[in-house]
Amino acid sequence: MTIVYALVSRGKTVLAEYTATSGNFPTVTRVVLSKIPATDGRMSYIYDQYIFHYVVSNGICYLSMSDEPNKHRIPFAFLNDIQSRFMEKYGFSHPQTAIAFSMNEEFSPVIQDRMNYYNSGHANVDKIDQVQNQLEEVKGVMVQNIEKVLERGEKIELLVDKTDRLNQQAFKFENSSRTLRRTIWWKKVQTVAILTAVVALVGFIVGASACGGLDFHNCRGL
């Protein structure tokens, strides 16, 4: 699963955003934002083969777009992380009056960093307590087809640059390959170490047997 786009907004006013690839989904999200209720809540909207997840808290919307409609846990963990860091950095009152993109320069790198982390496959969101918390959170999440939400004539074709997506997938494959090579190398080192220890032990036992015991008394004079 890959999170390819995320933003923080107040209503339709985008305060910060980051995209991992090129495409027209920033345009699509502006339409989606106009349909998101201002009340606190969370939901997922399916759009073609992509899915938008959002969390609204205190009038601030945290939204992401990913490419696997059946995966919800990691995107919502990502959004919770972004929400926590955003509130820690800006508090409650400042975002309520901030102008569009006034936080983009500072907070877009934060979104990028957390997106890379949750896309890396190393995000530690599988602990029992975290899973239990997220099960409770996702329990109330509704998944709707965005076509049911958008009015007639509002749907915009979602275009994603396939070259960028392939480059991103190749980068992930390279990282996975590097990790696999490193794992195989360590297993080889462990195997050599074990074989060396076994050979040394066998040599010691054979030598002890030939020399009359563990004290090697029959071989001392040789």
Q: Residues 41-80: pLDDT tens digits?
A: 888 888 777 889 999 999 999 999 998 766 788 899 999 9
pLDDT tens-digit series, residues 71-98: 788 899 999 999 999 999 999 999 999 9
Q: How many CB atoms lie within 10 A of CB 124?
A: 8
pLDDT of res. 171: 61
Cα angle 111, 117, 120 (rounded to 5 degrees) comes to: 135
What is the band of 120 on the pLDDT scale with cuts at 50, 70, 90? confident
Based on its alpha-carbon atoms, the radius of gyration of the chain, rounded to whole angstroms, reads 28
Residue of 93, 90, 116, 68 whose CA lies nearest to 16: 90
What is the band of 129 on the pLDDT scale with cuts at 50, 70, 90? very low
Are 27 and 160 in contact by the 8 Å Cβ rule? The answer is: no
Q: How much is the average pLDDT of 91-116?
A: 95
| Residue 100 pLDDT > 90 | yes
Query: Which stretch of 43-47, 86-90, 150-154, 176-180 has the lowest confidence by average pLDDT?
Result: 150-154
Q: What does pTM read for this prediction?
A: 0.61
pLDDT tens-digit series, residues 190-200: 888 888 888 88
Are 140 and 53 in contact by the 8 Å Cβ rule? The answer is: no
Are 60 and 38 in contact by the 8 Å Cβ rule? The answer is: no
User: In angstroms, how far is CA 168 from the centroid of its own chain?
Assistant: 14
